[in-house]
Structure 1
Amino acid sequence: MHFSGRPIAVESVVETWRIDDEWWREKAVSRQYWRVVLEDGRVVDVYRDLVTGRWWRQAY
Structure 2
Amino acid sequence: MEFKDNIPIYLQIEQYLYRQIVMGKLKTGKKIPSVRKLAVELTVNVNTVQRALQQMNEQG
Q: Do the two structures share a fold, i.e. TM-score over 0.5? A: no
* Structure with more relative contact order (C-alpha pairs < 8 Å, separation 6 or more): 2
- Which structure is higher in helix share? 2
TM bracket (short chain): under 0.3
Give TM-score scaled by structure 1 length: 0.20
